[in-house]
Amino acid sequence: MVGRPPVLFDAATPTIAEGKNRLALSKGVPVAEGLLIDAEGRPTTDPAKLYEGGALTGLGGALGGHKGWGYGLASALIGGLSMIDDPRPTSGGTMRPPADWESKLAGAFMIVIDPGRFGDPGAYAEAVASVAAAAYRVPAAGGSSGVRVPGDPELAAREERRATGIAIPASTWELLAEIAERTGVALPA
């Protein structure tokens, strides 16, 4: 049972990750309702509105969005430690710095825990595998393909991308090229 992949939880604190919004923009498709507001605070499905002074909505929606906003602020402040000495920071390499960048702070915030600091890591791996196996035994909700454990979608995407490659929109490639040039990193052909 221990041979299962690790359970990895990666989540954005707004209702949509900025990178997913940028991908929708680069593909020229709208995002789902409820994910963005424009500069005047009106709901929008136009991903370009985010970069025109709009905002991502907070995780939790109208009822609990303050919690998502709080998580987001805490994550940005802690993640912002990674950009203190960067003269032209990017938030994960996706957003261009806005004109009022001095009022912005972003970065990646991760918690990595070594189970061996608490006890036998093998026993813990067995317990995690057992919990995951129990989750898979829960009947699927109507219209669902089944229960997934955090990390499962990413593992499936990894396997697919190994087989078929990674499609990168031209606009995303151009942004990566700008960052690579600024940092002196060569891009692959």
Q: How many domains does the chain have?
A: 1
Range of the domain at 81: 18-152
Query: How far is the C-alpha of 90 from the C-alpha of 79, rounded, in Å?
Result: 12
Query: How far is the C-alpha of 9 from the C-alpha of 14, rounded, in Å?
Result: 15
Write the pLDDT tens digit of every residue in 23-67: 899 889 999 999 999 999 899 999 999 999 898 888 887 677 777
User: What tokens were used for 158?
Assistant: 């990894």
Q: Is residue 187 part of a domain?
A: no
Residue 95 pLDDT: 47
User: What tokens were used for 77?
Assistant: 């402040």
Helix (H/G/I), strand (E/B), else coil: 43: strand
Residue 64 pLDDT: 74
Q: Is residue 41 part of a domain?
A: yes
CB 59 within 8 A of CB 68: yes
Using a cut of 0.75, tell me whether the model's pTM lies above it: no
Q: Is residue 61 part of a domain?
A: yes
